[in-house]
Structure 1
Amino acid sequence: MNIRIYGKNETITRIDIHGAVRDTVTTTCLDWPSGISVTRGRELIYSDNNSRTVTIVRHGKSETLITTPQGWRPLTLCCTSSGDILVHVYTGSGRQKKNKIIRYQGQNMKEEITKDGQGNSIFKDGKYSLCMSENNNGDVCVSDLNVDTVVVVDKTGRIRFRYDGAPARREKSFDPRGIVTDALSQIIVTDYNNDCLHVLDQDGQFLRCVDDCGLEKPVRLSVDSEGRLWVVSGKSGEIKVIEYL
């Protein structure tokens, strides 16, 4: 199993479970990628908030796939099982930054995930990114760092539930960052403040915390085909591989 990683430079690197570098892609980003993902066809995509583009790497060459609407810049990405691409976009800056998610089918905008059934904004304004993952039932699971809440919406954009970390009864306040879903449709989210992972079922019921693996300030994470979690420490930058099932 290999995983792709990136940081504050122009490259995206693929490493194996032993940390050995398998290959490196040099992006076209002015600074560094804002987000990365892999399509259903196993092609790498990355976002660049300077150029407002999402780029796909095909046969070693970078091609612009999506240009976000004028005034909106892309950050995190998520590729769905249907082949759609979810793009977190923002406009403005600081605490006034507005956030929404756009679903693209190829290069074409399919829909926006912005408002609930009552016309209220699903995601809060603020300076932080939204982290996303699609569950097996088509739900879009979002870690909204601006309100320290996990928000899950169904295929139609209707809010199914919110999770605020309270059922876990941790010592410090819930501070969600990265989020993934696994083969069992469980939702796993990092908790930066409490050095642990929260595991929920697909309906938002708290199952347990993973807090016995020596995690330090976990931020992003990914799940591989063997069901292992690759968790990035926000303190050291190290990646820890966890067999949690």
Structure 2
Amino acid sequence: MATSTTWAQDVITCDLCDNPAQQFCNSCQVSLCGGCINKHVESMKSQTHDIVPFKDRRERLVFSSCASHPNQKCEGFCKKCDEPVCFNCVTGPHIGHIVKNVTEIVQNMKEEIKKETEEIEFIILRFAQSVENIDQKVTNMTEKFNAMESEGENLRKSWHEEIDKIFDTLQSTIRKMKDRRLKALKSHQSRLQDSGTKLKRVAKENKKILKSTKVSDITSHKSDLKKFRDIPTDVDVKIPSLNSNTVQGRELSIELGEFKATLTQTSISSLTDEVSILYVRKLLDNAQVIASIPSKIKPLGAIICIGINEAWAQGEDNIIRRIDIHGSLKEKITTEGQSNPADISVTRQGELIYSDHHNHNRKVNIVRQGRIETLITLPQGWHPDGLCCTKSGDLLVSMTTSDDSQTK
């Protein structure tokens, strides 16, 4: 059966129909069956045809007909105009241009296409291997996350019913982590598969061009290989660990990535126990850049956010600027005096406050509707430094004596 299939794939068919080819036109480089010979000759009466048995065929380049000079073949290629030309073109519209022999150009381009096809086939192999590796990673990751979910359910049974919400959050976190990581793996796998499919089509087309004797087929080839070379064949997705700790009768804790929950139990008396549930969001081990805002303030001093899209910022001059996330200036406040403010903050109502570091002023000011008003005047000998508006609406002011000997 394999032999028959191979034989069937090697049968050369007529270029005008699907019947097996028996004859060959050396002039036009066309395979023909017995029934299509007259059709071929009649369709191209202006040309001579050297039709021989297929086994006696002679392969040679088929030069395209000149669009400007009937019955002339384009055996040259104009480098300046990037188009095939005939002899009459060279002595006419293309006189003085650099004209190369089409045969030489075709040979060089075939060499390039051959090298490209070899590289494509190598990349296809690498992609196929990576797809298999990712399949295994998906399997392993699924098993580990499934085991993690099972472990979470086992831990749930050892905790009090009142802390079910902890495990609901935990399981949701696990599923989200699992979904995100599997999505990243499968997305990359899909990208590799799609790229591999596209490369197979390109390789097939290149092989067809390599077999072609038509100049136009070869000279019109444009390579898309560059965009596939830099596609990474692997993706590293980290799997967090699910950790738990139990101190019998005292403390239960569970931790997964940034999620951490702790149950503590303190004995108050022989009849009363106090149970407290503590949720903790750990700080990241390494800072992450969420957004970069080009403030154009050099050097940049204090900065305080207003919502999620704007911020007040100050430098070393006496101007406080409100900028958006793109760095565009929205508003500016010129403070009293020549020195820059010591610090800035924003109240719960969104009003800007700043501390005036100048020894003579000793003020904390607030900006209301674009006007500067004094909020606090410190006693003689003290000047304000840092500011902090608390969540409850209070204002914390750090202050220092003029000689820097005391702070409060």
Using the size of structure 1 for normalisation, the TM-score is 0.43
Structure in which a larger fraction of residues adopt strand = 1
Structure in which a larger fraction of residues adopt helix = 2
